[in-house]
Amino acid sequence: MDKPSIADTERELVEEFALFDNWLDRYQYIIDMGRQLPAFPESGKTEEQKIKGCQSQVWLVTTAKGGCLEFQAISDSAIVSGLIAILMRLYSGRPAREILAAPPGFIAAIGLDQHLSPTRSNGLHAMLGVIRSAAARCAGT
């Protein structure tokens, strides 16, 4: 079965978050998502893979496979790990051009722009920047 589009995945995420009445429950859901991240190779924890602009430590490894990008990431923060899980669900395994064509509307739709601390918001945008830059390189733009 084909993977749903980024837009469809965003809609699913927004619907999932709408099930929670308050932000405490949403934060817990984000943390739980982060706990489901696959194991991250220790060899990926290098300075080159470390995301600049994050208060917590975040490593993100990008692999191009046939025009699609695979991402692996990990953080030492539970909330940031959950944000990584959201980004991986949206962008990992996608064609570079689809990533570039999909604005990150989920941030406002879920309410992350209003409920993340400024440092976590900066980190989220730094991770998005790395993902989009990798997509631009892969797409040759």
Query: 6-37+49-139 adopts what CATH topology?
Result: Sufe protein. Chain: A (3.90.1010)
Contacts of residue 49, defined as CB under 8 A and 6 or more positions apart, other chains included, come to 59, 60, 61
Global pTM value: 0.94
Find the largest Cα–Cα distance for the chain.
43
Catalytic residue among 33, 51, 54, 88: 54
Active site residue 54: yes
Domain ranges of the chain: 6-37+49-139
Give the pLDDT confidence of 91-120 residue by residue, as tens digits. 999 999 999 999 999 999 999 999 999 989
pLDDT of residue 1: 52
pLDDT of residue 73: 96
Backbone angles phi, psi at 3, to 5 degrees: -70, 140
Name the one residue in this structure whose structure tokens are 């080159």.
48
